[in-house]
Amino acid sequence: MADVTIDAAAANGLYNRSLRGGIFWTSPTVGYVVYLNFTQDLVYRKTADGGANWGAAQVVAAAAACNAVSYDCWADWQTSGDAGTKIHIAYISIDLNQIRYVYLDTSDDSVAGDDLIEACQGTGTIQAAAGYGYTTVSISKTRGGNLVVALEYRDSTPTYFNSFYTSPDADTWTSKT
C-alpha cells in the first residue's frame, strides 16, 4: 500500500506533545489514531480497511477545554491478559490548567469519562511556551486493572511539579507521592 496521509495539518500540533497516539489496531483492518488537530481539538480517526482510508475526525476533547500541551494513550489490549475495548487518554490542558482523563470505547466508538486527575499546583497556571519539553504526561494500565498516570509540568513561576496517580475505576484518582 502507498503512503496514506491521515491529516496533513496534524504535524503542526504534534510537535513535542504526543507520547503514544496510535495507531491502535483492534483487528487487521480496524484501527484508531488519536492526535491534536490544527485547531487544538484532541481528536481520533478510525480506519476500517487497514489504513487505506480514514474516517472524519471525531472530537475527544474540544479546543476550548483542551489545547493539550501533552497527551498520551494506552489501549486495554496493550496490557497482557486484558481483553477490554477502551483506549485510555491522559492530557494536560492549558485552557483549564488541569491534567485530565478521557477514554474512547472502541466497541461503540463512544467517548466518555472526562475526569480531573490534578489541577495545576503552585500559581494555578500551567506554563505554555515553545518547546514544551518540560510538560509531559504518560498513561498505562497494570495487569491488576489499575490505571497509572505520571506527569510533569511547570507553573508560571516557573516551579516544576511531578506527580504519579493511580485509579482502580478511571474515576477516582489517588496521588502516590
What does the block give as the cell for 132?
Answer: 514544551
Residue 40 domain-assigned (yes or no): yes
Question: Does residue 89 lie in a domain region?
Answer: yes
Assigned domain for 5 exists = no
Q: The cell 511539579 sits on which residue?
A: 161
Low-confidence ranges of the chain (pLDDT < 70): 1, 11-18, 64-65, 129-133
Using left for φ > 0, alpha for ψ between -120 and 50, and beta otherwise, residue 152 falls in: beta
**Residue at 1 is within a domain:** no
User: E strand or H helix at 65, and its extent?
Assistant: none
Domain count, the chain: 1
pTM, 2 dp: 0.91
The answer to whether residue 77 is domain-embedded is yes
Residue 33 structural domain: 10-175
Task: Judge contact between 117 and 173, C-beta under 8 A.
Answer: yes
Residue 102 in domain: yes
In a domain, 2, yes or no: no
35-85 pLDDT per residue, tens: 888 787 889 999 999 999 999 999 998 876 677 778 899 999 999 999 999
